[in-house]
């Protein structure tokens, strides 16, 4: 019995350090921010399988299988709030899959992303965590409405969201993946009060394409009348 006990301790002494070695923590580099709108850009190098967990301004990178996963970038405009009013996960780059398996709104403020890279060799994965508002109170109101917007009209923040969804659907149908919005704003030109415009990128094959887009939005019903996406 004593010999078995010593053997078990010896096995644990070897096994436990290997578990710790497969988890690497990092503090985010905070750049800009404020105004209730936040974003983290995360880049990691993965060989087979890994998970990224973000709480506040701290990230944990766990290697599940394959070579040890490593941090490449962890940059945020602010720490992830415990209960954001709105939250989005956007995969930007990576040949395998990256999926949000832990939503901070239902996971105690923890965002967890699972990465599976079945092909041999390392691959860099880039994804964004975006949020608006904080659980410390109601989310901040939408940005100022364009001229002519009165109370009771469809919020501009929702108009932007449905425009982005329509653009994503259009690019996905055209064979593009890793859609990443660089800018989405109301059109301030005269006579264009019901338009949302912006810039976006999408990947197809081995290259990244750049597009400009515009959406005509019915602010009374919250529907998109038309979507135009053009290569830049």
Task: Render pLDDT for 179-218 as a digit per residue (tens, 0 to 9).
Answer: 888 887 887 777 777 888 889 888 888 888 999 999 988 8
Other CB atoms within 10 Å distance of the CB of residue 157: 16
Chain-centroid distance, C-alpha 140: 20
Helix (H, G, I), strand (E, B) or coil at 90: strand
Q: Give the CA angle between residues 169, 86, 197 to the nearest 5°.
A: 45
- pLDDT tens by residue, 19-53: 334 788 899 998 876 667 899 999 999 999 999 99
Whole-number Cα distances in Å, 232 to 179, 192, 199, 207, 212 = 15, 21, 9, 14, 6
Question: Given this model, what pLDDT does residue 153 score?
Answer: 53
Mean pLDDT of the chain: 80
Gap between the terminal Cα atoms of the chain: 73
Surface-to-core class of residue 220, CB atoms within 10 Å of its CB (0-12 exposed, 13-18 middle, 19+ buried): exposed
Residue 175 gets which letter from DSSP? T
Surface-to-core class of residue 82, CB atoms within 10 Å of its CB (0-12 exposed, 13-18 middle, 19+ buried): middle
pTM, 2 dp? 0.52
């Amino acid at each position: 019995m004593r010999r078995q006990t010593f053997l078990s301790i010896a096995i644990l002494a070897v096994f436990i350090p290997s578990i710790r070695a497969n988890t690497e923590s990092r503090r985010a580099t905070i750049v800009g921010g404020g105004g209730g709108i936040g974003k983290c850009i995360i880049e990691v190098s993965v060989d087979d399988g890994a998970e990224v967990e973000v709480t506040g301004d701290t990230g944990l990178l766990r290697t599940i299988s394959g070579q040890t996963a490593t941090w490449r970038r962890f940059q945020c405009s602010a720490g992830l709030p415990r209960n954001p009013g709105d939250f989005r996960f956007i995969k930007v780059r990576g040949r395998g899959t990256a999926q949000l398996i832990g939503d901070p709104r239902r996971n105690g403020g923890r965002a967890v992303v699972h990465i599976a890279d079945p092909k041999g060799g390392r691959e860099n994965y880039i994804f964004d965590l975006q949020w608006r508002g904080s659980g410390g109170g109601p989310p901040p109101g939408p940005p100022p409405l364009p001229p002519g917007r009165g109370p009771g009209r469809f919020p501009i923040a929702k108009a932007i969201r449905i425009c982005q969804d329509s653009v994503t659907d259009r690019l996905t149908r055209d064979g593009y993946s890793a859609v990443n919005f660089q800018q989405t704003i109301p059109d301030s030109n005269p006579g264009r009060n019901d338009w949302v415009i912006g810039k976006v990128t999408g990947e197809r094959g081995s290259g990244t394409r750049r597009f400009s887009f515009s959406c005509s939005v019915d602010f009374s019903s919250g529907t998109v009348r038309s979507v135009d996406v053009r290569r830049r």
